[in-house]
């Protein structure tokens, strides 16, 4: 985890020839932060009760699970793993992962969180031994810092039918909905530290941390990145390939 450049990691997650005979092609997977909550914005704007400036995550192996029936069990024999851990800052729209993916049906993508053993230079020191750090502020200027050590595995899956690598038009977008992370948290009544900040972690405002970590279970969606810009646009948002929860 010495580098933040995900593009520098050419992640070869499969072989050119597969047992199924399906073709294998280069796949791009971009990661980004979004907010479906009007009160939570990624930059300052009208009506923003919370502004999220940075959202750091530490990812383990991202796993693509094949399947033709998304209501049945997993086919682990054909899974594709994109190796981690990798430190990513989601608001800045990092460079995408690049890996090989077989052109076949997929039902699920699993995204495990890991704790940072080392903190890259651009990351906040608070990320050490944590999986997530979120930095932002409230409308009144109060600074907000969230630190989570939760190592649970998030998952998105198709709710209708499987998706194919070819259907994704070469690029995929995995969106972390930080608005849903913060949804329903009573920050006004949260305890402040000596500097007037709201810190939510294992030691401070623990009930809010529990609620946020529970919110995270469903706050992940997979989309086609139609214009390959690493951002979720309105026309892309309307047709998710897979959703969390």
Domain boundaries, the chain: 6-240
Residue 17: is its pLDDT beyond 90?
no
C-alpha to C-alpha distance for 112 and 131, rounded to whole angstroms = 10
- Predicted confidence band of residue 27 (pLDDT cuts 50, 70, 90): confident
What DSSP letter does each residue of 125-194 carry, written as one string? Answer: GGGBT-SEEEEEEETTS-EEEEEE---PEEEEE-SSS-EETGGGTTEEEEEEEHHHHHTT--GGGS---T
Q: In this predicted structure, which of 55-59, 150-154, 158-162, 163-167 has the lowest mean pLDDT? A: 163-167
Query: Helix (H, G, I), strand (E, B), or coil: what is residue 55?
Result: strand
* pLDDT (0 to 100) of residue 177: 96
- Predicted confidence band of residue 73 (pLDDT cuts 50, 70, 90): low
- Give, in order, the Cα–Cα distances in Å from 159 to each of 137, 169, 223, 239: 35, 20, 13, 12
Query: Helix (H, G, I), strand (E, B), or coil: what is residue 210?
Result: helix
- Give, in order, the Cα–Cα distances in Å from 121 to each of 4, 87, 201: 9, 11, 22
What would the mean pLDDT of 179-192 be, rounded to a whole number? Answer: 95
Answer left, alpha or beta for residue 39, where phi above 0 means left and psi between -120 and 50 means alpha.
alpha
Hey, how many other C-beta atoms are within 10 angstroms of the C-beta on 30? 22
């Amino acid at each position: 985890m010495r580098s933040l450049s995900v593009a520098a990691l050419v992640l070869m997650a499969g072989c050119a020839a597969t047992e199924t005979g399906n073709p294998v092609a280069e796949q791009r997977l971009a990661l980004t932060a979004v907010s479906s909550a009007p009160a939570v914005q990624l930059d300052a704007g009208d009506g923003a009760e919370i502004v999220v400036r940075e959202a750091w995550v530490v990812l383990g192996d991202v796993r693509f699970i094949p399947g033709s029936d998304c209501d049945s069990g997993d086919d682990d024999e054909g899974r594709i793993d994109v190796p981690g851990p990798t430190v990513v800052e989601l608001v800045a729209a990092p460079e995408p992962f690049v890996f090989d993916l077989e052109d076949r049906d997929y039902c699920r993508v699993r995204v495990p969180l890991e704790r940072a053993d080392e903190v890259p230079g651009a990351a906040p020191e608070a990320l050490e031994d944590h999986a997530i750090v979120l930095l932002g502020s409230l409308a009144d200027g109060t600074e907000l810092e969230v630190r989570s050590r939760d190592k649970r595995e998030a998952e998105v899956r198709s709710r209708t039918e499987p998706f194919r690598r070819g259907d994704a038009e070469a690029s995929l977008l995995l969106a972390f909905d930080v608005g849903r992370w913060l949804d329903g948290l009573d920050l006004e009544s949260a305890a402040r530290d000596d500097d007037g900040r709201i810190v939510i972690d294992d030691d401070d405002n623990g009930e809010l941390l529990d609620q946020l970590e529970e919110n995270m279970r469903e706050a992940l969606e997979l989309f086609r990145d139609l214009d390959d810009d690493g951002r979720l646009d309105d026309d892309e948002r309307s047709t998710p390939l897979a959703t969390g929860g």
